[in-house]
């Protein structure tokens, strides 16, 4: 059973789960956050065997059935995204690589090849500091890594736990991974249109609230206006990228030297 309070972006979040088959997965997702000793919390998820209750920013919702396993992932990351989101902070479905202390934000649709690229990065002296969901924040108009998810699933049978970033990392480059294809031609196309960048990035901040929880077709919420304003401040190079994972890593290193 899980019965802990986590500190997420200076907010106390209570997590309770009585379904043993779900507990191990939930603990992995929350491994980047600190468990604290407190009896005060602002939001919560309480998973019982026959219902799930959650509260985000004072709004409580209930599913009166055992929650489906596939609904856990969007529910938990919707809670985290709401805890993180403000004028300076946002949570994105993304990975972050680090080379010579420069951060590379990697966004892309599910199954676009982010994990494949992360594994190739590790083989080529590039550190992976966030595997799946990334908390970014503006500090003096620079985009900084605040927290990265440390759990990386590799296929159905393997997993990796990353080490937390040793120091603050500034994001210097964003790549939108269109796809990884072995021996494919490398496309590394710069995008300068601000509206295009916002449209590409928006879904990576809202994915958890874009589909219903299928247990009872309940919809999740996120403040899309705040996300739009956050994305509108992006002022670093953005590339649409496709090709062989090794060549992508080589090209990333070259771009960072320019």
Distance CA 204, CA 121 (A): 22
Statement: residue 170 has pLDDT above 80? yes
Instruction: Note the Cα 257 to chain centre separation in Å.
Output: 27
- 162 pLDDT band, cuts 50/70/90, is confident
Residue 6 near residue 34, CB atoms below 8 Å: yes
Query: Model-level pTM greater than 0.85?
Result: yes
- 257 pLDDT band, cuts 50/70/90, is confident
- 164 pLDDT band, cuts 50/70/90, is confident
Region 45-66: what's the mean pLDDT? 95
Q: Give CA torsion, residues 128, 131, 136, 142, to 10 deg.
A: 30
The pLDDT assigned to 183 comes to: 80
- 168 pLDDT band, cuts 50/70/90, is confident
Region 54-73: what's the mean pLDDT? 94
Distance CA 45, CA 31 (A): 16
Region 38-47: what's the mean pLDDT? 94
Closest to 95 (Cα-Cα) out of 109, 81, 82, 83: 109
Region 137-141: what's the mean pLDDT? 96
| Phi, psi dihedral angles at 5 (to 5 degrees) | -110, 125
Task: Share the mean pLDDT of the chain.
Answer: 94
The enclosing H or E element of 67 equals none
The pLDDT assigned to 166 comes to: 75
Long-range contacts of 121-125 (CB under 8 A, 24+ apart): 121/97, 121/249, 124/246, 124/249, 124/250, 125/99
Determine how many CB atoms are found less than 10 A away from the CB of residue 109.
15
Determine how many CB atoms are found less than 10 A away from the CB of residue 163.
9
Residue 210 near residue 202, CB atoms below 8 Å: no
Q: Is 150 exposed, middle or buried (0-12, 13-18, 19+ CB in 10 A)?
A: buried
Statement: residue 128 has pLDDT above 80? yes
Distance CA 41, CA 55 (A): 10
Give the model confidence (pLDDT) of 201-226 as tens digits: 999 999 999 999 999 999 999 999 99
């Amino acid at each position: 059973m899980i019965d802990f309070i986590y500190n997420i972006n200076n907010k106390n979040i209570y997590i309770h789960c009585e379904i043993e088959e779900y507990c191990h997965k939930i603990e992995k997702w929350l491994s980047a956050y600190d468990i604290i000793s407190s009896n005060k919390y602002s939001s919560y998820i309480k998973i019982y065997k026959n219902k799930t209750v959650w509260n985000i920013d004072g709004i409580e919702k209930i599913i009166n059935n055992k929650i489906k396993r596939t609904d856990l992932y969007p529910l938990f990351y919707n809670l985290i995204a709401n805890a993180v989101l403000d004028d300076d902070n946002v949570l994105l479905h993304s990975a972050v690589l680090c080379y010579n202390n420069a951060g590379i934000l990697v966004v892309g649709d599910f199954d676009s090849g982010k994990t494949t690229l992360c594994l190739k990065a590790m083989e080529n002296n590039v550190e992976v500091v966030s595997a799946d969901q990334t908390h970014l924040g503006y500090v003096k108009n620079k985009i900084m890594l605040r927290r990265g998810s440390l759990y990386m699933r590799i296929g159905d049978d393997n997993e990796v736990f990353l080490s937390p970033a040793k120091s603050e990392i500034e994001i210097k480059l964003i790549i939108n991974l269109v796809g990884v294809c072995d021996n494919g031609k490398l496309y590394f196309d710069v995008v300068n249109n601000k509206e295009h960048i916002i449209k590409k990035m928006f879904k990576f901040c809202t994915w958890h609230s874009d589909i219903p929880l299928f247990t009872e077709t309940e919809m999740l919420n996120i403040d899309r206006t705040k996300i739009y304003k956050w994305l509108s401040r992006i002022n670093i190079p953005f590339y649409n990228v496709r090709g062989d994972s090794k060549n992508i890593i080589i090209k990333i290193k070259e771009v960072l030297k320019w």
